[in-house]
Structure 1
Amino acid sequence: MKKCAWFVFLLMAVSYAQNKQILYGFTEIPQSLLQNPGGKTHNDWYFGIPLLSHIHANGGSSGVTVYDLFAVDGKDFNTKLEEVVYRLRPTDFFTFNQQLEILSGGFAFGPSYDKNEYISFGLYQEVDAILYFPKDYAKLVYEGNQNNINRPFRLDHLNGTSELISVLHIGYNKVVNDKFTYGIRGKVYSSITNVNSVSNTGTFITVNGDNNAYDHIFDLDLSLKTSGLVNLTMDSDFEMKDITKQLLFGSNLGLGIDLGFSYNIDKHWYLDGSLLDFGFIRHRKHVENYELKGNYVFEGINPIFPEVGSGQTADEYWTAIEEEFSNLFTLDTTRTKYTTWRPIKLNSSLNYAFGKKVSKECDCTFDDSGYLNRVGIQLYAINRPKLPQVALTTYYYRRLLNGLSVKAAYTLDSYSFTNIGLGMSAQLGGVNFYIMADNFLNFKNIYNAQSLSLQLGINYIFTNDED
């Protein structure tokens, strides 16, 4: 019974948002190459300040906010909880993504008059998690089964995954000509922990019984796969240094690739795109998997509740039920190796640049200074366990001063239709600082926001762009 309880706890404990629409195409920031390895670059070399070059956190819910449940509005909490349970769908989800860049750098090379090739590299840590709303589970808990006789509850509504990984990467960027640039990035994934339960099927149904009031029929095919978790929770000799050892070339490794390009249609219009994290991780060590399969019928314990003077106490009654469940269900524990695929991400944008810098001395433009403004539309998609998630962004970019640029974006996504984000990149000497955030309309009441995102970082850049 303890193993069954542990299995259910792990299933419910796993609780994926990665769209970086403001960073994408923000070419003054070196980390934009992580969003498109074929993007444009504007520096001879750079290095990121260790642990400070890129800090990112993003969390969201597609169908409910904290405010929906805990707002001080005079409405009873149970009423609000009931509304949430019946409003959410099995495809609604809760996500969390966090990235911390440990080190990074890059440099241009090629002929001294035309450095048209660029190498970038780095190591970052990432947490990524998604949990879909288990609607039938929630309804069963909320309503009970007495009022749902002959109604099957679907067990495939339980679906979620979470992981903690490190990523070592190196990328190559090549300017082929004035129109076309391409890039490729190779990645080595090192999984620290992984928990996933994405292939559940089955039903639970209560029917009128013959030997008791009700029969409870279980058709189960539930599974939970874990790696790197058993040593965290079961190993008494485990220390924090054991995690740091797995940050680089740990026991559960994988490979991946990013591809990207930029194409100048004419002097104003350009198109770009990228395909990220086409790869896998093979989980070999510290693996512990749980499976609960089969058809079971539970008839209950007679009497349904002990009669007065029957000699059976309430504690003995519930103990009997516990023992019956323990004997009924067989939880298989295995250490079978398994493979997980990374969530593939797609970015693509169409952009229009305009507005040359004008010299006050001659009332003419600087032909080599580039455009001050850009507008565009960007499509983002990520593969998820149930359905792909898609976002559409329009943006406006403005270079205010040498070394100071801003970008505003409006995004339609799975969370809301009112996501307005702002980003800024500032460079003083060789030091570059950037910060960007989403959902500014909800900053007055962040508890009512369905998603929040923050990115910031500091780099040292030696730029070849002196305008």
Structure 2
Amino acid sequence: MVKYPLLYLFIVFLCAKVNCRNMQVLYDFDQLPQTLMLNPGTIVDYDKHFGVPLLSNVYGMAGSSSRDVNYNNLVADAEDDGDVIRNLYNLGLESNEIFVFNQQIELINIGLRLKNPDYYLSFGMYQQTDGFSGYPEDLADLFFKGNDQDENGVPEFYDPFMADDVNSVFELVGVFHVGINKRVNEQLTIGGRFKLLSGSLGLQTGNNNGTYFLDLDPLSSRPYQHTYEDLNVRLNTAGFLDPFDLSNDLGQPSELFAGLFFINGSMGAAIDMGFTYKVDDELSFSGSILDIGMISFQHKLTTIEFEDDIIASEDYYDPSGGELDYWRTLYLTDQLPLLTEEKGFSYFRSPKINGSMKFKRYRKTKAKNYAFRNVSCDEDYTGDILESAYGMQVYTAFRPKTPVWAVTGFYSREFTPNLSAKATYTVDKFSFYNIGMGLSAHIKNFNIYATADNLVALTSIRNSNYQSVQFGMNFIF
């Protein structure tokens, strides 16, 4: 239980691997219904679909841009959470490192072709936990070493610690969505999706600035002056803390679940847009922009702010290995300029852009029945055909100060009309050798698929700094 706001601030900023969501294996793969969530303008050759409730899409991803942040390094010789935090700090991370986390479960996903066959309607609801955090290097140095950064017993005066790198967002939301896909002509398909968001948990801090440094007044009986200057540092939370005593107050699971269904008044909205353009039967381009919107949290609010101040003291900051208890004591003795209020807060979601270029190849097969596809170029072949494709995908999520990007090369292949696979090689901030794989199988109208990323690290997952897995089941007609 986190009872002290400074400790809570530090755990959030430094430890929480918390919207970055690049599903490069799933993007434009085997005409799965879930690809509509990544590009509302993808090509849809089936007439309707129904996702298995709670199992149509289960997704989890967590990672750090630092290769050293992994399970084994964090828990090495650790006896409690304080040791884990210390292990993280000892890795020597810099302010350009980031942490990400994303988890999704689809409760329902349905689609059907309208009376005008050029239109395909899809709708549903999913639960999402999503987060992002930069590494606050200066705050971490101050937390662990105080004013004696050289650890030689002599404090450093006028050594500034900046708040600029404090940047985190975390949310647990329910997303209700409806989308329309339109085939404009044989070459162009476009689509859009509208999403209503219901906030269950929320945390946000960003656009922070200000400086702390140690000053000296040798003529005073309390010669050390802790100076907080030009501070604009705020942590907004909804559903996390009790605003009266700042204790951890997440509530019962039933309360968190109810928050996904517009019970507590925290709401938002966003839109997605996308397209696919077929130059010919072999070359096509696609792209999408997702999550253009914002969310407002209005329930169980706690805002913690630092204020400008000069606090006289008989000593300088010197944690000396007992960091958690040391800073807790400073808070209890009012030696930190903190103000706690109840304020609603809003923020814009981080837009994400996907794009791809794909080349298709066709080969003859003796298979006679397709699972659900309409093959547009049947007239060019005397027999049935199967597809293979290769190309490139790009992804960008617009994060404050540091966009998160990825470039992916891929190869996909239909082994039979009922079995497809996709292999990817991704270069991004998390890895330069990320190999992913996806499989999709059809048994009559039933589909099951699974994807996994960073396969190279699966054999030693405790030493991995990034991993994602996904699976789902649908009925496609």
Q: Distance in 2 between matches of 1:413 and 1:145?
A: 36
Answer whether contact 1:272 1:350 (CA < 8 A) is retained: yes
How far does residue 248 in structure 1 lie from its aligned partner after superposition?
Answer: 1.9
Aligned to 2:350: 343
After superposition, the Cα gap between the structure-2 partners of 1:11 and 1:367, relative to the gap in structure 1 and judged at 3 Å, is farther
1:220-260 superposed Cα distances (whole Å, 9 cap, x missing partner)? 33211112334698799954333332222331111111000
In terms of mean alpha carbon deviation, does 366-375 or 137-146 score higher?
Answer: 366-375
- Tell me whether 1:217 sits opposite 2:227 in the alignment: yes
After superposition, the Cα gap between the structure-2 partners of 1:207 and 1:85, relative to the gap in structure 1 and judged at 3 Å, is farther
Answer whether contact 1:11 1:224 (CA < 8 A) is retained: no
- Tell me whether 1:95 sits opposite 2:67 in the alignment: no
Report how many aligned residue pairs link the two structures: 434
- Tell me whether 1:28 sits opposite 2:31 in the alignment: yes
- Tell me whether 1:184 sits opposite 2:192 in the alignment: yes
How far does residue 366 in structure 1 lie from its aligned partner after superposition?
Answer: 3.7
Answer whether contact 1:125 1:164 (CA < 8 A) is retained: yes
Letter matched to residue 269 of structure 1: L
1:305-331 superposed Cα distances (whole Å, 9 cap, x missing partner)? xxxxxxxxxxxxx99x858951x5443
After superposition, the Cα gap between the structure-2 partners of 1:200 and 1:300, relative to the gap in structure 1 and judged at 3 Å, is farther
How far does residue 96 in structure 1 lie from its aligned partner after superposition?
Answer: 1.0
SS in 1 for 2:261: coil
Q: Distance in 1 between matches of 2:425 and 2:367?
A: 34
* The one of 173, 182, 206 aligned to 2:181: 173
How far does residue 218 in structure 1 lie from its aligned partner after superposition?
Answer: 2.2
Aligned to 2:8: 9
SS in 1 for 2:141: helix
* The one of 206, 228, 240 aligned to 1:229: 240
SS in 2 for 1:387: coil
Answer whether contact 2:240 2:248 (CA < 8 A) is retained: no
Aligned to 2:63: 60
Letter matched to residue 101 of structure 2: F
Letter matched to residue 216 of structure 1: H
Letter matched to residue 249 of structure 1: F
- Tell me whether 1:150 sits opposite 2:150 in the alignment: no
SS in 2 for 1:259: strand
After superposition, the Cα gap between the structure-2 partners of 1:72 and 1:228, relative to the gap in structure 1 and judged at 3 Å, is closer
How far does residue 337 in structure 1 lie from its aligned partner after superposition?
Answer: 2.4
In terms of mean alpha carbon deviation, does 62-71 or 235-244 score higher?
Answer: 235-244
After superposition, the Cα gap between the structure-2 partners of 1:443 and 1:225, relative to the gap in structure 1 and judged at 3 Å, is same
SS in 1 for 2:53: coil
How far does residue 8 in structure 1 lie from its aligned partner after superposition?
Answer: 4.0
1:29-49 superposed Cα distances (whole Å, 9 cap, x missing partner)? 110000000001131111111
Answer whether contact 1:356 1:367 (CA < 8 A) is retained: no
- Tell me whether 1:268 sits opposite 2:282 in the alignment: yes
Aligned to 2:339: 332
How far does residue 365 in structure 1 lie from its aligned partner after superposition?
Answer: 6.8
Letter matched to residue 209 of structure 1: D
Answer whether contact 1:231 1:238 (CA < 8 A) is retained: no
Q: Distance in 2 between matches of 1:201 and 1:443?
A: 40
Letter matched to residue 170 of structure 1: V
* The one of 238, 242, 253 aligned to 2:255: 242
Q: Distance in 2 between matches of 1:51 and 1:360?
A: 33
Answer whether contact 1:27 1:41 (CA < 8 A) is retained: no
Answer whether contact 1:190 1:248 (CA < 8 A) is retained: yes
How far does residue 286 in structure 1 lie from its aligned partner after superposition?
Answer: 2.3
Identity of matched residues, %: 31
**Unpaired runs of at least 5, structure 2:** 78-82, 151-155, 319-325, 369-378
After superposition, the Cα gap between the structure-2 partners of 1:244 and 1:367, relative to the gap in structure 1 and judged at 3 Å, is farther
How far does residue 168 in structure 1 lie from its aligned partner after superposition?
Answer: 0.2
How far does residue 280 in structure 1 lie from its aligned partner after superposition?
Answer: 0.8
In terms of mean alpha carbon deviation, does 172-181 or 202-211 score higher?
Answer: 202-211
Answer whether contact 1:117 1:173 (CA < 8 A) is retained: yes
SS in 2 for 1:357: strand
How far does residue 185 in structure 1 lie from its aligned partner after superposition?
Answer: 0.5
**Unpaired runs of at least 5, structure 1:** 305-317, 463-467
**Please, what TM-score do these two structures have when normalized by structure 1?**
0.84
Bigger Rg, which one: 1
Aligned to 1:295: 309
How far does residue 51 in structure 1 lie from its aligned partner after superposition?
Answer: 0.4
SS in 1 for 2:189: strand
